[in-house]
Chain A
Amino acid sequence: MNRCYLREAVTFCSLGNTPDEITHGIRSNSIEKAKEFTFGAELVSRQYRGMKDKRVTGNDKFYAVLEQLLLELITKSHLDPDQMEECALLIGSTSMSIPCSEPIFKSNPDEVMLPYIGYGAIGERLAHTFGLGGEVALFATACTSSANALLYGQTGINTGKFQRAIVLGFDFYNELTMSGFESFGLLSRDGCRPFDAHRSGMVLGEGCGAILLDTVPSSYKSQLILRGGANRSDTFSPTAHNTDGIMVAQTIRDALCDAKVEPCDVGLIKAHATGSETNDRAEGTGLRHVFSQMPPVLALKSSLGHTLGGCGAVEFAVLWFCLREGFLPKTYGFEVMDDSIGIAPSQDESEVSEGILLLNHFGFGGSGVVLVAQFGECE
């Protein structure tokens, strides 16, 4: 069975656009910005973490940002044309190309218009631009989209279906998404506070991440190996996992079993932790079902915003940058433990050199994806 290495990663997010900017940003926790949008006839303002120095409005900028991201990944990886010919492209996103359509609708609301459609068109254009000749697939499973793409990439490499795959996850600012989450009352007015007793909802963010999974190790001293994972469906509610945590726990157990890892081997949990009442309760309860001794828990959405379908790739890349520098970042926003959940995310930065990582992702539509990775100086 082939090993699945994280060979290279690039991400553009609210913390910055390079590993140095991002690791510096996560240590200093940049100030959240607000976005104003019209909700019905009312103009509302909500915290939002937009990408640094990049704005995606319209078709050209949408593709320009994604193409810049992929170009940086390919350049840093030193992929030659033959390797690109064999490379799969696996995409995960929630909003897809809505940021391209929305400005057109907004400027011509009385004209008949349809959005740019054709989910596969994004992958087809990007694969053509960069000469990626392998399988092109797009995952549409809400906030687990790019996590599912990572899991499929890992399975494909393990089984020899492909030698390498670029996993691209993204979600860019659009008013449809902001209004939609506002309509559910899920957007916080005072910041994301994962697992906190006074948590008040999510802060959305935008970002894109590209990860090269390969049978070949990275050029860095320490390696990150994707060992396995699982995806399951919780049919309790279309918008939230059951707060009894049973399906969350089952997904974690399946993932550990797939990776041949025991709960006591896990050294870090990167929680999904949106800061919403039910999501954090379901996840926290599920974690307590599995772990009698809780490993350190890290939540990144209070630093990055919730990048929705892109969060699997974006958060994986950000965590990788931190691990390469030998530290685990602290979780911002957490102050008071919710005793009914009993999870206290890491409050201080700590050193790390190796270990097993669990990466949780839970989204709308009952979709849950848990990935298991190993970090260290592997043989």
Chain B
Amino acid sequence: MKPLYIEAVSLLLQEASESSAELKKELERTSGQKFRRVNHFVLLALATVFRLPNLSNLDPKCALYIGTANGCVRDVVKMLEQMYRDTLLPMPFTFMGTSTSMAGFHIAQTLGLSGTALTVSNPYGAFEQALGMACTQLESGKSTSALVGCVDEGVFPLDEFKKVTQNDEEVVLEGGCWIKLALECANPHAVIIARESFKTAQAVKEYCEKQALSEPLTVIRNRESGYVGNSGGIDYVRALQEQQRGVIALITKEGKSRFSVTLTRLLG
């Protein structure tokens, strides 16, 4: 495959909060803009994006891929409560907020992007799904750069939310992560060197063992954690932030009998 360069990464993890005030404050500081009439899910996505450096020089055709495990479920609950508990007229703003693709819209609008913008999910790893699609898009030459991320929010009451999402952790974390991916990059942070598909977990294991013989390998696979979404992307970006050298293997289950391994070499 063509090498795909990771220019920058960002991460936002916070204890699930009913208030969006801190996110708005952070966004005002990092983006220089005030965001009104956007919901918590969109604010989480925007705040994480604006932790990326050098956003002003993005190509307008930069593609946008957002993965999410649960979407903007907080506004779905809010609207159902308005309709059935309070018998109020649903507000257009709340209905609009139930559409998960609004996060992509606001990011594209704020950054002046007009290319592909997709919000996707996958039972095994939403970020990994978004990353796979972005890699295909760049390799096909349809785009030369992409922002790839994931976002998920906690829903209150948290005890109920933990039951529905089978989250056993004491602290529920929400937020997301982003990477800036490009075919060419002057000062890359890391480079994706291979994406391979396998039919069995054993084949994945053997491939990783072979890779580990030549250089230090950090293996990341989706796991249960306090994070409200799929944690693979969060762990991947955290490893990109914290490690200086070696190769990261992001293992993704894409289907019942389909696995992919993305190898990313850190460039110090």
Contact = CB atoms under 8 A, between A and B. Distances in A.
Given A139-B120, A184-B92, A233-B108, A105 B102 contact: no
Interface in B100-115: 100-102, 104-106, 108-109, 112-115
A234 B114 contact: yes
Interface in B39-69: 64, 68-69
Contacts of B91: 183
Secondary structure of the A side of the interface? mixed
B122 A112 contact: no
B254 to A, nearest CB: 5
Interface in A247-284: 247, 250, 258
Interface stretch (A24-32, A124-132, A297-305, A340-348): A124-132
Contact of A176 (B76, B114, B116): B76
A94 to B, nearest CB: 7
A326 interface: no
Contact of B122 (A123, A184, A367): A123
Contacts of A135: 254-255, 258
A192 interface: no
Contacts of A181: 95
A184 B104 contact: no
B33 interface: no
B36 interface: no
Nearest to B109: A235
A98 B130 CA distance: 24
Given A38-B83, A140-B100, A235-B109, A85 B120 contact: no
A40 B121 contact: no
Given A139-B118, A142-B101, A238 B96 contact: yes
A140 B121 contact: yes
Interface residues of A, number: 72
Interface string A84-125: 010011000010101001100110011011111111110110
B161 A184 contact: no
B145 interface: no
B99 interface: yes
Nearest to A127: B256
B83 A120 contact: no
Given A105-B84, A114-B164, A140 B256 contact: no
A110 B85 contact: yes
A83 to B, nearest CB: 13
Nearest to A134: B255
A364 B116 CA distance: 15
B157 A365 contact: no
Contacts of A319: none
Contacts of B71: 96, 117, 119, 140
B116 A233 contact: yes
Contacts of A184: 92, 95
A366 interface: yes
A232 B89 CA distance: 33
A235 B108 contact: yes
B43 to A, nearest CB: 15
A231 interface: yes
B262 to A, nearest CB: 14
Nearest to A181: B95
B10 interface: no
B123 A365 contact: no
B87 interface: yes
B83 A115 contact: no
Contacts of A121: 123
How large, as a class, is the contact surface on chain B?
35 or more
B52 to A, nearest CB: 18
Interface string A134-146: 1111111110000
Contacts of A88: 255
Contact of A102 (B69, B80, B122, B157): B80
B87 A233 contact: no
A161 interface: yes
Given A120-B122, A184-B92, A233 B114 contact: yes
Contact of A138 (B101, B121, B255): B121
Contacts of B84: 105-106, 109
B96 A364 contact: yes
A3 B84 CA distance: 49
A105 B123 CA distance: 25
Nearest to A246: B114
Given A117-B73, A142-B99, A109 B140 contact: no
Nearest to A119: B121
A89 B124 CA distance: 13
Contacts of A250: 114
Contacts of A120: 69, 121-124, 126
B164 A117 contact: yes
Interface string A156-187: 10010100000000000001100111111000
18 contacts: A39-B89, A39-B90, A101-B76, A112-B157, A117-B71, A117-B165, A118-B70, A119-B71, A121-B123, A124-B124, A128-B256, A134-B258, A138-B120, A155-B136, A179-B83, A232-B117, A247-B114, A365-B99
Interface of A: 38-41, 85, 88-89, 94, 96, 98, 101-102, 105-106, 109-110, 112-121, 123-124, 127-128, 131-142, 148, 152, 155-156, 159, 161, 175-176, 179-184, 230-235, 238-239, 247, 250, 258, 363-367
Given A106-B84, A115-B80, A366-B109, 10 more contacts: A85-B257, A114-B155, A119-B68, A123-B122, A136-B255, A184-B95, A232-B116, A233-B116, A364-B99, A367-B105
10 closest A-B pairs (Cβ-Cβ)? Answer: A180-B95, A120-B123, A124-B123, A119-B121, A365-B101, A40-B89, A235-B109, A133-B257, A109-B84, A233-B117
